Structure 1
Amino acid sequence: MTTWHPICPWEALAPACGVPALLAAEPVALFRTHDDELYAVGNVDPFCGAGVMSRGIVGDRAGEPTVASPMLKQVFSLRTGECLDDPAARLPTFPVRRHDEMVEIAVP
């Protein structure tokens, strides 16, 4: 059974800006892209161990929505969590949705 956790109102989530959240002891970074797509990935940078991904730079690489780590600048797919600069590294991804004007994340 999936449990959805409200994070913030839709209007409070600015496009191309991240929001950190802590759900069931899991640090999560929530993003809304300029085309209003929602993504949730792990907030811990796998290269340096810092909880900074929510402060990353949102963009795209060849049409793939991405976030670049603010620390060492590796770029990660927001869809899959895969590091596009080093496929051996990955961020966890989480289901995210807009529901009743709230943004919600599911954490197992």
Structure 2
Amino acid sequence: MSRATTPAWTPVCPLDRLDEDRGVAALVDGVQVALFRTADGLFAVDNLDPVGDAYVMSRGLVGSRGEVRTLASPLHKQVYDLTTGRCLDVAGVTLRRHRVRCRDGLVEVRLRQEE
């Protein structure tokens, strides 16, 4: 991807607005994103549940399976690896992840193109 087409970092909210292990939805360049702050860091994924086809992932349950940090859909309870986006319950299903960082106390997201 050339530098000219690389998506920009979009400021979303102050870090202290994100409660640990609770999601929040944000609109980033027209895309609904679910943001999560955990003890392991920040995560950003599409808010669209790939199985239930509804914008609800920000209301999902953060947890773990062994050492894997997970997010369970609030609809049908499919569980996703927050690091990779891979569904741990349904083969071939993934949740699109986005880059996220905290800079000067401000959470920023850079959308990832279709994978």
Q: What residue ranges of structure 1 are gaps of 5+ in the alignment?
A: none
| Rg comparison, structure with higher value | 2
The partner residue of 1:10 within 8, 15, 19 is 15
The TM-score normalised by the length of structure 2 is: 0.88
Q: 1:27 is matched by which residue type in structure 2?
A: Q
Q: Structure 1 residues 29 and 91 mapped into 2: Cα distance closer, same or farther (>3 Å)? A: same
Residue 26, structure 1, aligned to residue 31, structure 2: yes
Aligned partners of 1:15 and 1:36 also within 8 Å: no
User: Aligned partners of 2:87 and 2:40: how far apart in 1?
Assistant: 22
Q: What residue ranges of structure 2 are gaps of 5+ in the alignment?
A: 1-5
- How far did residue 54 of structure 1 move? 0.3
Q: 1:13-60 CA distances to partner (integer Å, 9 max, x unpaired)?
A: 000010111212221111011x15001111111111110000000011
Aligned partners of 2:12 and 2:28 also within 8 Å: no
Runs of 4+ in 1 over 4 A off after TM superposition: none
The partner residue of 1:101 within 100, 105, 111 is 105
Q: How does 1:51-90 map to 2 (within 5 A)?
A: 51-90=55-94
- Corresponding residue SS for 1:95: strand
CA RMSD of aligned residues (A): 1.2
Number of aligned residue pairs: give it.
107
Q: 2:28 is matched by which residue type in structure 1?
A: L
Q: 1:59 is matched by which residue type in structure 2?
A: G
Aligned partners of 1:68 and 1:76 also within 8 Å: yes
